[in-house]
């Protein structure tokens, strides 16, 4: 298991043992080319119409979103996914060239915008219902198999530590490509098929980047980029185009400015402009058809991690938090950002509100959110408030949620919680219970900082 680089850690002000909370010390972004491979991948993610942006390995996000559902056979319904009866398979008509371009229809655009709002707020049934008349009228359109594939993506996005749903997503994604290519054989300039193919190839690239399979990610990203430029030639005024252009312009300039190897090869790279890129993303966040939430997310991410303007970043992330209250992804993203910026009071308020938000406590999404939020609150109470009893209760809650998820023994928040429960018991002189927690944290054979800390604690305290 490869551990993600955005796992929870002590607050920046408290990294040294025994150091009291103080002023935040910003850590510079690591300037290694592998760290920017995910950023390069995002240049090829052109239209992301039906889901929230995902984990750290795509760019340098603040959120890992650990959590998982129980194992399900391939034929089972993915928790949170639409029943298969709700998304009938695409029907191929005799003459594929007769499939209309819905993405140029004002009425469809209006309904699609409303459907996207439902979808990002995790109300898939309402989203599908909003487009049901279009689906009945044009069942062969490639957007419907795309919808199915991106719905299957949600359980992966929510829990990047769990690989249970990977195969099904790749199968559904391949079906989307097959439908698009059949249409493009009849009409090589069919805009909707090009757009849908660019979406799914970009999404596959994101999937492989999150699994650290860079070559496959690059291949699919390049295919998405190829379709993007074809769309731009014919329809340069599509507002969603500004998202792709903005990402492309921003990160091209960022690479040349920040990386020596990119400066050496700058003559081979297209010209970029960070401010122009941000301006284009702002246009997409304000007026795009499908990618308004995505553009908002990336503006928050860029201002937080690359431009070092946290106030602007939090404005965008706060907007997502309030706009999509049923989306636990955006809740956790916002709270983790507050935590990383040492805004502990704001983080605690958001955690309290999120834990009180109506949600099935036994659902996959609820358990992943509780695992994450209790771990964050435990760290805040431990370091910022010296509330060790409160921290203990939070780490126990995080542990209880993590133990119901897959694969529980190697989950990042589970290992973190076990380590701190060991630390808390050492403080109280309970060596036997400390040994139990440290030993569990030290057991996984993975490269995880808290596995190493637990092994070191066993040695230092002579608990072996």
**Higher-confidence residue: 49 or 355?**
355
Could you say which DSSP state residue 133 is in? H
Could you check whether the bond before residue 407 is cis, i.e. omega within 30 degrees of 0? yes
Stretch 244-252: mean pLDDT: 80
pLDDT of residue 132: 94
Share of the chain above pLDDT 70, in %: 77
Position 53 pLDDT exceeds 50: no
pLDDT of residue 270: 59
Q: Per-domain residue ranges for the chain?
A: 30-240
Position 280 pLDDT exceeds 70: yes
In whole angstroms, give the CA distance from residue 8 to residue 178.
40
Position 197 pLDDT exceeds 50: yes
pLDDT of residue 263: 56
Stretch 366-378: mean pLDDT: 95
**Higher-confidence residue: 400 or 87?**
400
pLDDT of residue 271: 67
- pLDDT band at residue 6 under the 50/70/90 scheme: low
pLDDT of residue 260: 57
In whole angstroms, give the CA distance from residue 130 to residue 244.
26
Cα angle 48, 50, 51 (rounded to 5 degrees) comes to: 80
Residue pointed to by tokens 């240049």: 43
- Count of Cβ atoms closer than 10 Å to residue 29 Cβ: 13
- pLDDT band at residue 407 under the 50/70/90 scheme: confident
Could you say which DSSP state residue 110 is in? H
The helix or strand, by DSSP H or E, that contains position 116, with its residue range, turns out to be helix 106-120
Stretch 29-41: mean pLDDT: 39
In whole angstroms, give the CA distance from residue 281 to residue 292.
9
- pLDDT band at residue 28 under the 50/70/90 scheme: very low
Position 57 pLDDT exceeds 60: no
**Higher-confidence residue: 364 or 380?**
380
Q: Is 212 left (phi over 0), alpha (psi -120 to 50) or beta?
A: left
Give the contacts of 44 (CB within 8 A, at least 6 positions apart).
201, 202, 205, 220, 221, 222, 224, 225, 228
In whole angstroms, give the CA distance from residue 399 to residue 266.
48
Return mean pLDDT, the chain. Answer: 79
**Higher-confidence residue: 244 or 144?**
144
Which whole-number Å values give the CA distances from 146 to 129, 165, 384, in the listed order? 16, 16, 45
DSSP letter for each residue of 190-249: -HHHHHHHHHHHHHHHHHHHHTT-HHHHHHHHHHHHHHHHHHHHH-TT-TTHHHHHHHHH
pLDDT of residue 119: 83
Position 66 pLDDT exceeds 80: no
Share of the chain above pLDDT 90, in %: 42
Q: Do 13 and 24 contact (CB within 8 A), yes or no?
A: yes
- The per-residue pLDDT for range 166-190, each reduced to its tens digit, is 999 999 999 999 999 999 999 998 9
In whole angstroms, give the CA distance from residue 449 to residue 430.
23
Could you say which DSSP state residue 47 is in? -
**Higher-confidence residue: 314 or 2?**
314
- pLDDT band at residue 14 under the 50/70/90 scheme: low
Distance of alpha carbon 414 from the chain centroid: 20
């Amino acid at each position: 298991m490869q551990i993600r680089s955005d796992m929870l850690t002590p607050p920046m002000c408290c990294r040294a043992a025994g150091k009291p909370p103080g002023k935040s010390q910003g850590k510079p972004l690591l300037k290694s080319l592998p760290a920017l491979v995910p950023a390069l991948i995002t240049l090829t993610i052109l239209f992301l119409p039906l889901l929230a942006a995902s984990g750290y390995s795509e760019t340098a996000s603040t959120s890992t979103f650990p959590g998982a559902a129980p194992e399900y056979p391939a034929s089972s319904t993915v928790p949170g996914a639409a029943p298969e009866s709700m998304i009938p398979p695409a029907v191929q008509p005799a003459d594929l060239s007769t499939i209309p371009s819905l993405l140029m229809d004002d009425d469809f655009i209006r309904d699609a915008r409303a459907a996207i709002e439902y979808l990002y707020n995790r109300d898939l049934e309402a989203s599908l219902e909003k487009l049901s008349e279009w689906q009945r009228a044009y069942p062969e359109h490639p957007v419907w198999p795309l919808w199915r594939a991106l719905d299957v993506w949600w359980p992966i996005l929510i829990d990047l530590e769990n690989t249970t749903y990977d195969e099904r997503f790749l199968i559904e994604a391949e079906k989307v490509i097959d439908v698009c290519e059949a249409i493009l054989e009849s009409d090589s300039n069919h805009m909707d098929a090009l757009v849908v193919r660019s979406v799914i190839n970009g999404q596959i690239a994101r999937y492989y980047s999150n699994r650290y399979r860079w070559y496959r990610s690059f291949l699919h990203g390049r295919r998405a980029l190829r379709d993007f430029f074809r769309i731009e030639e014919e329809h340069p005024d599509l507002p969603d185009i500004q998202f792709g252009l903005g990402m492309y312009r921003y990160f091209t300039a960022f690479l040349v400015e920040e990386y020596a190897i990119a400066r050496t090869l700058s003559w081979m790279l297209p010209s970029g402009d960070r401010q122009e890129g941000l301006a284009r993303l702002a246009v997409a966040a304000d007026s795009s058809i499908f990618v308004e939430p995505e553009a908002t997310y990336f503006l928050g991410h860029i201002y937080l991690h690359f431009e070092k303007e946290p106030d602007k970043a939090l404005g965008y992330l706060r907007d997502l938090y309030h706009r999509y209250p049923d989306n636990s992804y955006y809740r956790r993203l916002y709270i983790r950002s507050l935590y990383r910026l040492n805004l502990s009071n704001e983080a605690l308020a958001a955690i309290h509100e999120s834990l009180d938000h109506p949600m099935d406590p036994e659902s996959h999404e609820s358990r992943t959110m509780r695992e994450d939020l209790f771990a964050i609150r435990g760290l805040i109470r431990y370091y910022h408030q010296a509330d060790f009893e409160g921290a203990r209760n939070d780490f126990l809650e995080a542990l209880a949620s993590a133990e119901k998820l897959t694969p529980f023994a190697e989950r990042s928040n589970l290992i973190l919680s076990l380590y701190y429960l060991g630390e808390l018991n050492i403080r109280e002189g309970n060596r036997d219970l400390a040994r139990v927690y440290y030993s569990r944290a030290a057991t996984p054979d993975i490269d995880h900082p808290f596995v190493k800390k637990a092994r070191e604690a066993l040695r230092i305290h002579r608990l072996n």
